[in-house]
Amino acid sequence: MSKEEVARGGWSNQVEFFLSCVGYAVGLGNVWRFPYLCYRNGGGAFLIPYILSLTLVGLPAFFMELAFGQFASLGPITIWRVCPLFKGIGFASVIISALVAISYNVVIAYAMYFLIVSIVHMDTNVPWATCGNDWNTIYCRTETLRISPGMNESEKVNVTLSTMNTTCVDQKMNSLGLAFDDLTYNLTSRNFSDCSYKDQIRTPSDEYFSNFVLGLDKADGIGGIGDFSPKLIAVLLLAWLIVFFALKKGVKSSGKVIYFTATFPYVVLIILLVRGVTLDGYMKGLEFYLVPKFDKLADPRVWTDAASQIFYSLGPAFGSLITMSSYNPFHNNCYRDSILVAIINCGTSIFAGFAIFSVLGFMSEVTNRPVQEVAADGPGLVFIAYPEAIARMPYPPIWAFLFFFMLILLGLSSMFAMVEAIISALADEYPRVLRRHKSILTFVVCLVLFFAGIALVTNGGIYVLTLMDAYSGSYSLLFVCFCEVTAIAWIYGWRRFSEDIEIMLGFKPNIYWIATWTVIAPIFIIGVLIASAIRFSPSHYEDYQFEQWAQNCGWGLVALPLVFLFGTAFIQILRYKGLRNATTPHDNWGPALPENRKGRYVVGQENKGFEAEEKETKLGDDMEIKKNGNSNGSSITVQF
C-alpha cells in the first residue's frame, strides 16, 4: 500500500463502497416523497417521465461524479485542480451538504423520538392512538367523520355533532327550548352553521406530533419559535453522536456500519408490505398509487417533478459521490456500480410505494375517507398519516418500532455520505493540518452542525426546518450541478475526460454518455431550473405562510453557496493571472499513484499545467540571469 493510500485511507472492499452508494441514494425521499409524487402525477404514468429523467440526466451525472472522484482520488474541493476557475463548485457543494445535513438530521431525531416512545409503550399502546391526553384539543377525533349513504338519521346527526362545538350547540338548543340529545333536529341548519369546526378536526397522531413532540401550539410563527425542546435536543444530540462514531475513522468505520444501515431497511419494507397487503382496503391504496392517468403527462409540472425527484434522490453536486469514489482502487468498475445503484434506487422508490399505499388504502377503508385525503408527503406522511394507520392495527408499538427504525437507518446512510464529504473536502484541502487529526476534525464538524441545528428543535423549529428544506438544496444545487457538468464536459473537455476513463477502466464512454454530458444533461438541468422558477410559490408549513423576511432568509440560503462559487472564480482569475491559466489543469492533476499514470500522465509527456509553465518560465529567467553573469550562485532545483 502506498503512502498516499495509508494517509488518506480507503474502502476495505468494494462491497462497502457499493452499499454506501446505495445507502446514500436510497434515503427518506424514496419513502416519503416518491409515492406521493407518483399518485399526484398520474400513477403508473409518472414512471415514464421518471425513467426518462433517470436516463437523460440522473445516471449520466451519477457516473460522471463517480469516475471523476475515482480518477483523481481527491475530495470535492481539491479535485478542482483540474480546472482552478471552478474550485468554487467544491466550496458550494460542501456548503449545500452542510445545510441539508443540518435539517436532515433533525428529521432523523424526530424518528428517533418516535422509536423510543414505541419501545417504552411496547406493552400498552402508542400514545397517538387516542384523544383525551394533555396535549389534545377539543378538535381531536378518532371516530369516522363522514356521513355514508347507508346511515340512518340518528347516525347522521351523531356524525354532524362530532364536527361541532358542543358547547355552542348546547347554548343554541337551550335558547330554542330543545334538548341537546334531540337527534331528530336538523343540526345542519343555518342556525348552527357558526358552531361547526369540521375543517378544524384533527387526528390524534396529528395533535401528538404537532402539540406534544414539536410543541407547535406554544410557538407564534417563524418569528416566535418559542423555547428549546429538551427531549428533541437530546435525540438530536444522539443522532449526531451516532454520525460521529460511524465516521470517526472515515470510510474504514462507516464502511462497517453501512452493511446494516443500507440493507436492513429492505427487510423492514418487505415486512411492512406483507402486513399492508393483509389489511382491509389495501387494493384501494394500490390502485390509487399505480393506475395510470396518461392525460397527466401533458402537464409540465409532472415532468419537472420527475426530474427533480431523480436529481435529488441520486444526489449529484453534493460532493458525496466524488468523496465516496475517491476512496476506491483506481481500476474499480465504477461504470457498473453507477448503473446498478441507479436501478436499485429507482426500484426501491417504486417498491416503497407499495408498502406505503397498501397501508394508506387500509386507512382510507377504516376512516371512510378517500385515499387522497389520508395521503401526504414529507413529514406529514411519516409522522402523521402512517402513524395514524399504525395506531389502528393490532400491536401498534411493534409496527411503529419497525417503521421508525427503517426511517432512521435510511436517513443515517445518507447522512454518513453528506458529512463525510464535508470532512474529506477539508482534510484534502488542508492535509498538513487536518488530515493527521481527522478524528478531531470529524468531532468538530459534527459539533458545529449540531449547534447549527439547535433552532430547529424549538417549539416552532418545524418552521425553520421547512424553510431550510425548501431553499437550501433547491435552485443552488441545480445551478452547481450545471456548472459541474459544463466544466468537466466543455472546459476540461469530454475528450480528455473520456481518455481518463479509458486509462482507469480500459474503455472509452460511448456516444450515449458523450451526448448526455455535453448537450442533453446541461439543457435538461437548465430546463428544470427555469420550470422550477416559473412554478415558484412562497414556502409554507400547512396553512401557515411564512412572512416575507423569512422568505428573504430562504433566498439567502440559496445565495450563500453561489457567492462562494462566483467569489472563488474571481479570486482564481486574479491568482492565476488570467482566464486561460485559471482553466488549465495543475501540473499535478491526474491519478494519485505513480503506477496509475499512463498516457499523457507519464512523466515527460505533454500534460503541463499552469504551475509547470510558471516554473519553466522562472527557470528560463534564472538561466538567462546566470548567463549574463548576474546569478547569486544559488543552485536551481525544479520539481514536477
d(Cα 296, Cα 131) in Å, to the nearest integer?
40
| Residues 6 or more apart in contact with residue 114 via CB below 8 angstroms | 213, 383, 387, 400, 404
Q: Cell triple for residue 85?
A: 476557475
Kindly tell me the sign of the dihedral angle through the C-alpha atoms of 415, 422, 584, 582.
positive
| Residues 6 or more apart in contact with residue 315 via CB below 8 angstroms | 24, 25, 321, 414, 417
Q: Cell triple for residue 516?
A: 448526455
Task: Provide the residue type at 298 as one letter.
Answer: A
d(Cα 104, Cα 385) in Å, to the nearest integer?
20
Backbone phi and psi for residue 443, each to the nearest 5 degrees, phi listed first: -65, -45
Instruction: Tell whether residue 133 is among the known ligand binding residues.
Output: no
Helices (H), 262-380: 264-276, 282-290, 300-314, 320-326, 334-367, 371-374, 379-380
d(Cα 456, Cα 103) in Å, to the nearest integer?
7
Check if the beta carbon of residue 18 is closer than 8 Å to that of residue 363: no
Provide the 10 A C-beta neighbour count for residue 105: 27
Kindly tell me the sign of the dihedral angle through the C-alpha atoms of 198, 204, 205, 208.
positive
Instruction: Tell whether residue 528 is among the known ligand binding residues.
Output: no
From the number of C-beta atoms within 10 Å of its C-beta (0-12, 13-18, 19+), residue 278 rates as exposed
Check if the beta carbon of residue 118 is closer than 8 Å to that of residue 404: yes
Quickly list DSSP for 620-636.
HHHHHHHHTT---S---
d(Cα 551, Cα 543) in Å, to the nearest integer?
16
Max intra-chain CA distance, the chain: 120
636-to-513, 608, 620, 626, 631 alpha-carbon distances in Å: 46, 20, 11, 11, 11
Helices (H), 291-333: 300-314, 320-326
Instruction: Tell whether residue 345 is among the known ligand binding residues.
Output: yes
d(Cα 391, Cα 393) in Å, to the nearest integer?
6
Rg (alpha carbons) of the chain, rounded to whole number: 29
Quickly list DSSP for 204-219.
HHHHIIIIIII-GGG-
From the number of C-beta atoms within 10 Å of its C-beta (0-12, 13-18, 19+), residue 123 rates as exposed
Instruction: Tell whether residue 93 is among the known ligand binding residues.
Output: no
Instruction: Tell whether residue 333 is among the known ligand binding residues.
Output: no
| Residues 6 or more apart in contact with residue 223 via CB below 8 angstroms | 547, 549, 550
Backbone phi and psi for residue 582, each to the nearest 5 degrees, phi listed first: -70, -15
Instruction: Tell whether residue 25 is among the known ligand binding residues.
Output: yes
d(Cα 539, Cα 215) in Å, to the nearest integer?
21
d(Cα 29, Cα 356) in Å, to the nearest integer?
13
Instruction: Tell whether residue 313 is among the known ligand binding residues.
Output: yes
Check if the beta carbon of residue 397 is closer than 8 Å to that of residue 44: no
d(Cα 367, Cα 45) in Å, to the nearest integer?
28
Instruction: Tell whether residue 277 is among the known ligand binding residues.
Output: no
d(Cα 160, Cα 306) in Å, to the nearest integer?
41
d(Cα 236, Cα 105) in Å, to the nearest integer?
7
Bridge partners, residue 202, by sequence: 140
The single residue listed with the C-alpha cell 483523481 is 72
The single residue listed with the C-alpha cell 411496547 is 122
Binding site for Na(+), residues? 23, 25-26, 30, 313, 345, 410, 414
Query: Which residues does the annotation place in the binding site?
Result: 23, 25-26, 30, 313, 345, 410, 414
